[in-house]
Amino acid sequence: MGGGEKSGLVGPGYRKALEFLIKDFAIHKFPKKEEAIKNSFLSTCIEEYIEDDRIRRCAKSASWLGNDQTHYVQRWTDKDLDDLKTLVTLTKNWIENVFLTERLDLTTERLDLTNDERE
């Protein structure tokens, strides 16, 4: 597993952080579904509310590895805590890109860049 004795606590921590990240993002995208999202399993939330394929793939893999960190015998023996960290980071980065794109879209709407009055 790597990382010494504390690594047994870190994996479940990353898994929990992933759940908060995904559910907060899903609630942002689907505010009317907040209660359903809060009460759903992480895997269900990813499947039903995460539309971006990059986020969905990374989050699903991170969820599997995170869940695996909580079991006595791990199923994914070729993966370790560093892989989980990478997947959570990728998930966070893809979500951040969605927010940056939304903000840029708002800015470009105000600038009306589709209109060629710049000439």
Closest-CA residue to 98 (of 37, 18, 21, 42): 21
Q: Which domain holds residue 43?
A: 7-111
Residue 25 domain flag? yes
Residue 87 lies in a domain: yes
3-state secondary structure 3-55: CCCCHHHHHHHHHHHHHHHHHHHHHHHCHHHHHHHHHCCHHHHHHHHCCCHHH
Q: Is the pTM of this model over 0.95?
A: no
Residue 79 lies in a domain: yes
Question: Is 103 domain-assigned?
Answer: yes
Q: Quick check: 12 and 66 in contact, CB under 8 A? A: yes
pLDDT in tens, 91-110: 999 999 999 998 887 776 66
**pLDDT tens digit string along 20-34?**
999 999 999 999 999
The answer to the question of residue 56 being in a domain is yes
Residue 57 forms part of a structural domain: yes
How many structural domains is the chain composed of?
A: 1
Which residue in 30, 52, 33, 50 sits closest to 42, CA to CA?
Answer: 50
